[in-house]
Amino acid sequence: MLPIRPLRPDDCQQLVAVYHEAVISQAGNLYSPSQIEAWSQQASRNDDFRSSLRRGHGLVSCANDDDTIIEAFALLDPSDRLALLYCRGRSSRQGRASALLGALEQHARSQGVGRLRTEASQLSRPLLERRGWVVDGEETVLLGGVSFLRWRMGKDLP
């Protein structure tokens, strides 16, 4: 079992690094260089990222036997919205994102949330679909002045 713990206030800088590395290391086959550049800089340039970390319910997946080295993280903000889900490339395909999603879904249920929602990238959509999320719609957004296609998705929590 991979260690998961609650997000702590002193994790912010490390989460910015995980976010950046996740985009740089995994988006190459799905996004253009200008999209990767714009997206990878969002956490460090956008105050909403830090505000969301303070406001939301976040969990981190840590390196084995060391809860100070963060490999992946996920955040609900507000309690019915998956706002962030990022994993370092070196730690992808190890079950970290699935474990984080499962823990956040359980937390949301315990808070009385009946349905989760999110905006999924090309990277996260396949994982979310495997975990029972469904596409509710498609949208185009601008990040750092660059256009991105993403999907509004949802999952009922029985």
Q: Band of the pLDDT at 1, cuts 50, 70, 90? A: low
- Measure the CA–CA gap between 46 and 59, rounded to whole angstroms: 20
- Measure the CA–CA gap between 99 and 94, rounded to whole angstroms: 10
CA 135 from chain center: how many Å?
Answer: 17
CA 126 from chain center: how many Å?
Answer: 13
Helix (H/G/I), strand (E/B), else coil: 122? coil
Q: Band of the pLDDT at 104, cuts 50, 70, 90? A: very high
The verdict on whether omega for the bond into residue 158 sits within 30 degrees of 0, i.e. cis, is no
Residue 25 burial (10 A CB sphere; 0-12, 13-18, 19+) = middle
Q: Which residues pair with 72 in a beta bridge?
A: 61, 87
What percentage of the chain exceeds 90 in pLDDT? 78
- Measure the CA–CA gap between 93 and 26, rounded to whole angstroms: 11
- Measure the CA–CA gap between 129 and 99, rounded to whole angstroms: 15
Q: Is a pLDDT exceeding 80 seen at residue 2?
A: no
Q: Band of the pLDDT at 134, cuts 50, 70, 90? A: very high
Segment 106-123 shows an average pLDDT of 97
Q: In what order do the strands lie in the sheet with 146-156?
A: 4-6, 57-63, 66-76, 81-87, 115-120, 146-156, 134-143
Higher-confidence residue of 50 and 106: namely 106
Instruction: Quickly tell me which residue has 């998956």 as its tokens.
Output: 82
Segment 67-72 shows an average pLDDT of 89
Domains of the chain in sequence order: 4-113 (3.40.630.30)
What confidence tens digit (pLDDT) does each residue in 15-64 have? 999 999 999 999 888 999 999 999 999 888 888 898 999 999 999 999 87
- Measure the CA–CA gap between 107 and 31, rounded to whole angstroms: 32
